[in-house]
Amino acid sequence: MATFVDRYPDEAAVVKACLTVSFTALAIGAFFGLVQALHRTDYFRFISSVDYYTVLTGHGVLLALVFTIFFLVGLFTWAVVQSLERPMPDIRLTWAWFGLTTTGAVFAAVAILAGLIPSIDMSADVLYTFYAPLQAHPLFYIGLAMFIVGTWLAGADWFLAYRDWRGDNPDERIPLQTFMVLTTMLMWYLSTLGVAVSVVVFLIPWSFGLVETVNPLLTRTLFWYFGHPVVYFWLMPAYLMWYTVLPKLAGGRLFSDPLARVVFVLFLLLSTPVGIHHQYLDPGIAEGFKFIAMTNTMFLLLPSLLTAFTVVASVEHGARQRGGKGYIKWLGALPWRDPAFTGMALAGAMFAAGGFSGMINAGMNINYLIHNTLWVPGHFHLTVGTAVALTMMAGSYWLVPQLTGKRLYSRPIGLLQVVMWFVGMVFMSNAMHRAGLVGIPRRTAEPQYQSFDFNAVIGTVGELQAQIALGGTLLFLSVVLFVFNILLSAIEDPIENPVDDSLPAPLSGASGSPRVLDDLRLWTAIAVVLVILAYTLPLASIVGDAGWFGNVPGVPVWVSANVEALGDLLREVVA
Amino acid sequence: MTLSRAQLLVLVAFSIPVAIELRVLFGFFGIDLPLVAVVAFEAVFLLLIAVAYMVGAEPKSATKH
């Protein structure tokens, strides 16, 4: 039986290239994470607290944008090709978007990493949330713009493949994996308009000095217009694997194809008009608009709860097919020996915890308690840091053999790796949440205020620091094991059938569901209307208050020569 | 009940959040559980899992053929 690489060798080469970039970013970003964990907790410091922000930016950008999105574009290419059962329309276009996206990512990474080398007058220590007034080197913004345009072209490539397929299959329902890819990309097109406008119209001219000032609230709002939907851009590849691969690994079939489609439609509709919930403490946005964003955000719980039901039902079905019985005992019949299954299952379990802490973030009043504290990284290390990252690593144990035609080097090492990630994240995120509750801030190398001690409600702050350092170390070791396992898998000898890559049909297929679910134009139109309703008035108000280009000169983080001038600028911004 | 090594590993992993959150749980009732009590709980839990694994393990001769 031929596997993916035998059927589509050109596409497999592109997917492998995407995963190579993704895992390289993962390795560097994970090392930066270890440095941060040990530095902040004061266990081991070998960089200055100034360089901490370079490392922090590198960690955020390399993991949250490069690792996740390169995995996504690889996975989505695989999903489109194998679910439409045809190669990409023009492999040159596929390589073109890969080249553009990679070049953009390298530009951004160079601008960030140059901050560690004092002799190079270039830096981009603006953190992952790269809005004004912190100003990065122009190369950083140019790289980001190329990266985003690259993902747009990737989406265009998948839509072209779908168009060709539709021409040959006018009456067929869209295959589920392709449906997931297309709805996710429609959401991405809609949401990246904000960051594209922010980067191209405001940040690039501003970083080049073509315009002198910027409106920080406008760039913040445009960033968060994109900054929350990007969360679902990370999450949708994980959902794709939970819905279509995890049931198969469990020995069963997807419980309901129509429910999966409903979930992806809901994410297309609801992901974008919620970004203002990241700005509850921003002055200049009326409370009413924030309330609307909160309400929209709470609606997003619906597709997540639908997913919890559908995926668990599918996994239970698999367990019962394997002889599992009883209310709880069926869990014992699941294939825990398989690192791909165990990793995805553990990731899903932790996503539940991340969802609950996310409800705290989303609540307007209770958000004030944890805003800008360690609670927030505690939350997103459960969501993007585990639900997404662990699913991607676990999924790789099933996906990579299809792309290489070689067996996985070691399943026991894979199992140890995913369990180690789970344990490390339990230690680290639990401590971060608890530290956030007592007000310990995020985004700082020196979290302690002078003449003030944080008092943990339960235990001590020292215990929380120890948990963070231990958790961060385990997470780094887990990534080392992952990279080691994948690298050694790459040098195995090819075999005929390295993995069973067939995907069984759902228990409840698409044929019985309303065809309107596949009407992508309708859902896109509704999503656009919702965005217009949520954002027109807030944006008009922000521009009305301070103008398009505002009156803030900015704080260039790469000007290293004149500290006094930098101080003046800071005072001006604060004033 | 027989436990495989993979199940043993997953059970051990799941015991850690339970142990960590034990203090929070007791905290809800105004009881300040000391760290050493959590460590003792985890040790007992691990011991029980190990016993369950060894009791349920098939004899070596049964796996040879």
In this prediction the ipTM stands at 0.89
pLDDT digits (tens, 9 = 90+) for A461-485: 999 999 999 999 999 999 999 999 9
Mutate to test the interface with A, among B10, B18, B25, B26 (most CBs of A within 10 A): B10
Quick check: A430 and B17 CB within 8 A?
yes
- Global pTM reads 0.94
A37 min Cα distance to partner chain B (Å): 19
- Short-list A70, A52, A36, CA closest to A125: A52
- pLDDT tens for B27-59 read 889 898 998 999 999 999 999 999 989 987 655
Structure tokens at A553: 């000169």
DSSP A110: H
pLDDT at B60 over 90: no
Residue A552, pLDDT score: 87
- Which residue of chain B comes nearest to A329, CA vs CA? B1
Distance from C-alpha of A479 to C-alpha of A411, rounded to nearest angstrom: 15
CB-based contact A332 B1, cutoff 8 Å: yes
When scoring A330, A336, A432, A475 by the number of chain B Cβ atoms within 10 A, the one with the most, hence best to mutate, is: A336
Partner residue facing A336 (CB), from B10, B17, B35? B10
Longest Cα–Cα distance of chain A, Å, equals 72
What pLDDT is attached to residue B65? Answer: 41
The helix or strand, by DSSP H or E, that contains position A135, with its residue range, turns out to be: strand A134-135
Q: Using an 8 Å Cβ cutoff, are A146 and A107 in contact?
A: yes
User: How much is the pLDDT for A172?
Assistant: 95
Measured between beta carbons, the chain B residues lying within 8 angstroms of A332 are 1, 7
Q: How far apart are CA A181 and CA A472, in angstroms?
A: 33
- Greatest C-alpha distance within chain B: 56
Catalytic-residue membership of A379: yes
Q: Which residues of A38-54 are buried (b: 16+ CB within 10 A; e: fewer)?
A: bbbbeeeeeeeeebbbb
The CA-CA-CA angle for residues A38, A43, A48, to 5°, reads: 65
Which residues does residue A552 pair with via DSSP β-bridges, in sequence order?
A214
Residues A33, A64: contact at Cβ < 8 Å?
no
Tell me the chain B residues in contact with residue A422 when contact means C-beta distances shorter than 8 Å.
13
Chain A / chain B CB contacts < 8 angstroms: 42
**Closest to B6 (Cβ–Cβ): which among A337, A346, A423?**
A337
Find out whether A295 and A339 touch, Cβ atoms under 8 Å.
Answer: no
Burial code (b: 16+ CB inside 10 Å, e: under 16) for B40-57 equals ebbeebbeebeebbeeee
Residue A226: strand, helix, or coil: helix
Q: Mind telling me how many Å the CA of B5 is from chain A's nearest CA?
A: 8
Q: Is B57 left (phi over 0), alpha (psi -120 to 50) or beta?
A: beta
Residue A337: list chain B partners with CB under 8 A. 4-6
User: Is residue B36 less than 8 Å (CB to CB) from chain A?
Assistant: no
Give the number of other Cβ atoms within 10 Å of residue A196's Cβ: 18
Residues 6+ apart with CB under 8 A from A330: A316, A319, A320, A324
Q: Are A572 and A555 in contact (CB under 8 A)?
A: no
Catalytic site includes residue A317: no
Q: Which of B1, B13, B23 sits opposite A458 (nearest CB)?
A: B23
B25 interface with A at CB cutoff 8 Å? no
What is the dihedral sign for C-alpha A42, A44, A45, A49? negative
Contact of A425 with A471, CB cutoff 8 Å: yes
Low-confidence ranges of chain A (pLDDT < 70): 1, 558-570, 572-575
For residue A156, what pLDDT is reported?
Answer: 98
B15 contact A CB<8A: no
d(CA A255, CA A316): 10
- Write down the pLDDT at residue A570: 66
